[in-house]
Chain A
Amino acid sequence: MADNGYEGAHGAEGGGLEFHPMDQFIVKPLFGGDAIHWYTPTNVTLWLFVAILAVTALMVLATSKRAVVPGRGQSIAEMAYGFVYKMVEDVTGKDGIVYFPYIMTLFMFILAANFLGLLPMAFTTTSHIAVTAVMGFGVFFAVTILGFVKNGASFLSLFWVEAAPLPLRPILALIELISYFVRPVSHSIRLAGNMMAGHAVLKVFAGFAQVAAIAPIAILGVVAIYGLELLVAFIQAYVFTILTCVYLKDALHPHH
């Protein structure tokens, strides 16, 4: 299947079943042309912009009335605010509240991008390693630098587990060090992988609908997977955010 190319549309044109589950992730320039320079407006740009609009609509327009008794939109905005605020407070403690706007930015962006990606014909920006890796490594470097700035060299005590018996400590330190450097990788690949997997599975099920005999089952499958994907879209945004909070807590309080 690797050399099938992507010329065919979604349909049984070539006779047999044709699956193009990865087609939806192709980055295309918006206004024609082939070359993708760093400044070219592409479908990524479009859907990032839609995500900004969605966040603005929810967090700014819906709260513009500043009602003491909130309406629907304002309730959701307040709920999102309270949800992330409580998460930051619970996980990182009081001194982590300063970083709340950054974490809120990450959460709202990932949530909006995940949900917008579930619209038919939409492009899921968070399914691209490039996008999630920027956020994952951004969090990693920010947290590491913050840890050294706040704690100096004692930040390294994060890797020296005082609770363990002395002979085990060097081994544990090595494990902790490796797990620390795997963090950004797993952090970003988890999000991208989840989104990519879900959308690819949706496309595969949709592809089975080309065969009339199993089309009803395939369509039921699409519905079920879509429901699961709605859940996953939220949970992955939540998990990305809460792991960011956990890493931030490690930076602020490295002592176990």
Chain B
Amino acid sequence: MEGDIAQLGQFVGAGLAAIGSGAAAIGVGHVAGNFLAGALRNPSAAAGQTATLFIGIAFAEALGIFAFLVALLLMFAV
């Protein structure tokens, strides 16, 4: 892995960007956990809200995917 300082920066940046994926995981867990808490309180209303749940998870996850994309771009494309 010998290389110049720019490459080092690239790799460090990619690793830092990958933290964003973990943050997105927290977000997704938050959405799912709150859904479950609500669903256990009122199970009859839960079935109608699964679509909203998935949309929420998708939005939370999209931002993590952006972070992952930045990591990939740093690793391979820059």
Direct contact of A and B (CB under 8 A): yes
A194 to B76, CA, bound (A): 17
Contact with B along A101-118 (1 / 0, CB 8 A): 000000000000000000
Task: Report the interface size for chain A: residues with CB under 8 A from the other chain.
Answer: 20
Q: Are A1 and B68 neighbours in the complex by a CB distance under 8 Å?
A: no
Task: Indicate whether B55 reaches chain A with its CB closer than 8 angstroms.
Answer: yes
Determine which of B7, B10, B58 lies in contact with A239 in the assembled complex, contact meaning CB atoms within 8 Å: B58
Contact with A along B52-65 (1 / 0, CB 8 A): 00110110011001
Question: B78 contacts which chain A residues (CB < 8 A)?
Answer: 2
Contact with B along A1-14 (1 / 0, CB 8 A): 11000000000000
Q: Are A238 and B54 neighbours in the complex by a CB distance under 8 Å?
A: yes
Task: Indicate whether A186 reaches chain B with its CB closer than 8 angstroms.
Answer: yes
Question: B66 contacts which chain A residues (CB < 8 A)?
Answer: 186, 189, 193
Contact with B along A215-247 (1 / 0, CB 8 A): 000000000000000000001001100110010
Residue of A nearest to B51 (CB): A242
Question: A243 contacts which chain B residues (CB < 8 A)?
Answer: 55, 58
Task: Indicate whether B75 reaches chain A with its CB closer than 8 angstroms.
Answer: yes
Q: A87-B51, A196-B72, A243-B55 are in contact. List 8 more A-B contacts (CB 8 A).
A: A2-B7, A2-B10, A90-B51, A186-B66, A190-B58, A194-B61, A197-B65, A238-B54
